[in-house]
A and B are shown apart, each in its own frame.
Chain A
Amino acid sequence: MNFARIYGLILRYNYLLRRNFDRMADAFYWPTIDLFVWGLTGLYVERLAGNTKIIVAILSGVVLWYIVFRNQGEITVNLLEEFWNDNLINLFVSPLTFGEWIVSVLLSGIVKSIIALFFAATVAFLLYQVNIFVQGFYLIPFAFLLILSGWFIGLTIAGFVLRYGTKIQFFAWTLVYIFMPFSAVFYPVSTLPTWAGKIAGLVPMSYVFEGMRQVINTGTFDINKFWISLGLNAVYLIISIVYIKSSFKKALERGLINII
């Protein structure tokens, strides 16, 4: 691993963020709109139920979900950017290795998700006086687990794109949402029908959002949820790394110039 090369790529994606309004919208516009709409929904439900913790749980769900979304998006959209710019060739005629490219997008994702987390938390506080940091240090393991989840989803989608090209680029924005209902972002897993609850048991994000609600309601966190989520994330991450490496090998067999 060469850190100068990794830094060079992080710099390239940072330059892009500053100059690309689509990326700006992903980073700041959509989180603001989501928080605005979900905050109002939370207020309404809170009035109906008479439970003041509902809005905190809903807005915390929105903010934490963005960690998954940003980390998977950083991998897939950055790969697509290289396709759209015909830049894969410029990158891979240099000494850059595929492993370094992956590390650079993962690190870039961490930085941007931390920025997104603080930005969204500030918006939630300004709009609704909701402090998601009420979860205290529990936010650190939650964020860590959700970053891992964003990575395995992003690497898997990037593997699809490398194999099948830009004709399936819509996965970059849509596939992550398949996990959302089973992640129980806004409701407890017990709300799900039995079959969906079983699937949720295999989704590492569901343990984080269950844990988040537990912390908000009781101030405690069942450590078993952390270990289960970590174990599932580790398994999926290993599978996704194997998959993307094999997809890159396939792309090289076809020739990087020939994949679009």
Chain B
Amino acid sequence: MSILDVKNLTKRFGPPIGGFIAVNNISFSLKEGEILGLLGPNGAGKTTTLQLLLGLTTLTSGTITYFGKDFVTNRSKILENVNFSSAYTRLPKLLSVRENLNFISYLYNIKDRAARINKIAEIFHLKELWNKETRTLSAGQATRLNIAKSFINFPKILMLDEPTASLDPDVAGYIREFLENERKEFQVSIILTSHNMAEVEELCDRVVFINRGKIVADDTPENLAKTIEISHVRLLIRKNDMAKFNSYAKGAQLDWLTQGPYSLLNINEKEIPNILRSLAEIDINYDEISIERPTLEDYFLEKARSKT
């Protein structure tokens, strides 16, 4: 069941003539319990889309519907069930961790405030930071506090902007696991932006790719990666065959580069058997070979570099 529907959403900054269209007629939906990745290069329109979904900016045209209700006319009621966390925002720096969570709990009208705040503090290991001023927290601790804040109101929909940026790998892993559990246990739906493609592949059921304000793809991470035909073949060529290999690669007009002792070929998956056969025929020997199939990162790079 869809709990968020975005239809023909457009945001223009500045006047109708000479202004800038940051989000251009986009439509997508979010199902209950779904984790949706919002990807795109810098300036693609991801942040503006998140701002529109959170009411931090006004829309120029189109509609946003949460739980079957229009967002513009029911903003306050809807936001009781939505929350947001970004690695790039901070809670008031002179307030302690406890004070910040306390005043935020009033904004969401939480019923059993003390119990909820304590529970959140336990989950995100904030008890040891309880009376520390937020300005004294490390970047990772502040990010943890931000994510904790975003769970304070038992959100049905969560918007996370780079949730694990600046976190140690073990803490980032813990947060990912927590998000996955929340989704399974409480059917929390999440919209996530991240530059960590491995994280997006691991967490997201679906990815909406935005470029120049328009949606250019809306599919699963696996299907998006499959649209890329180029694989990466890493070969450890024997030293005395290197010159021969370089001359062959040049002649065959292969896309290749040298990385330390390895030669890295970017080639169409279907061409791999032919190339390996050619190397054997001209007696070029290698001691190691690894083939990396296309990933979401390859898809991202191709789309980000494309002009259209």
Contacts and interface: CB of A to CB of B under 8 A. Distances in A.
Interface of A: 2, 4-5, 7-9, 11-12, 15-16, 19-20, 81, 85-87, 89-97, 249, 252-258
Contacts of A97: 75-76
A102 to B, nearest CB: 15
A258 B102 CA distance: 27
Interface in B81-98: 82-84, 86, 89-96
A7 B106 contact: yes
Contacts of B149: 90
B91 A15 contact: no
A93 B149 CA distance: 12
Contacts of B109: 2, 4-5, 95
Nearest to A6: B106
A16 B55 contact: no
Interface in B1-54: 13, 47-48, 51, 54
B48 to A, nearest CB: 7
B56 A256 contact: yes
B57 A254 contact: yes
Interface of B: 13, 47-48, 51, 54-58, 75-77, 79-80, 82-84, 86, 89-96, 99, 102-109, 133, 149, 159
A188 B94 CA distance: 43
B161 to A, nearest CB: 10
> Which 8 A/B pairs are nearest by Cβ-Cβ distance?
A8-B106, A255-B57, A94-B107, A12-B103, A93-B84, A95-B76, A95-B79, A256-B56
Contacts of B95: 12, 15-16, 19
B107 A5 contact: yes
Given A16-B92, A87-B91, A256 B133 contact: no
A257 B149 CA distance: 19
A15 B76 CA distance: 25
A96 B103 contact: no
B94 A5 contact: no
Q: Is the interface of B mostly helix, strand, loop or mixed?
A: mixed
Nearest to B106: A8
Given A4-B109, A8-B107, A85-B90, A93 B58 contact: no
A80 B266 CA distance: 53
Given A8-B106, A19-B95, A86 B58 contact: no
B117 to A, nearest CB: 13
Given A85-B93, A95-B80, A252-B58, A15 B99 contact: yes
B56 A96 contact: no
A21 to B, nearest CB: 10
Interface centre among B57, B75, B86, B93 (most CB of A within 10 A): B57
Contacts of B76: 2, 95-97
A8 B13 CA distance: 33
Given A15-B99, A85-B92, A8 B58 contact: no
B51 A256 contact: yes
Given A5-B109, A19-B94, A95-B76, A90 B56 contact: no
A85 B95 CA distance: 11
23 contacts: A2-B109, A7-B106, A8-B105, A9-B107, A12-B103, A15-B95, A15-B96, A93-B56, A93-B79, A93-B84, A94-B107, A95-B107, A95-B108, A249-B58, A252-B56, A253-B13, A255-B13, A255-B51, A255-B56, A256-B56, A257-B51, A257-B57, A258-B57
Contacts of A89: 56, 84, 86, 89
Q: Is the interface of A mostly helix, strand, loop or mixed?
A: helix
A8 B56 contact: no
A31 B54 CA distance: 42
B57 A90 contact: no
Contacts of B89: 86-87, 89-90
Given A12-B95, A16-B94, A85-B92, A92 B105 contact: no
A96 B107 contact: yes
A86 B96 CA distance: 16
A257 B84 CA distance: 13
Contacts of B54: 92-93
Contacts of A254: 13, 57
Nearest to B50: A257
Contacts of B90: 85-87
B136 to A, nearest CB: 12
A169 B300 CA distance: 42
A156 B78 CA distance: 30
A15 B80 CA distance: 24
A257 B77 contact: no
Contact of B91 (A2, A5, A81, A90): A90
Nearest to B11: A255
Contacts of A12: 92, 95, 99, 103
Interface centre among B13, B57, B107 (most CB of A within 10 A): B107
Contacts of A92: 54-56
A12 B92 CA distance: 9
B106 A5 contact: yes
Nearest to B52: A255
Contacts of B133: 19
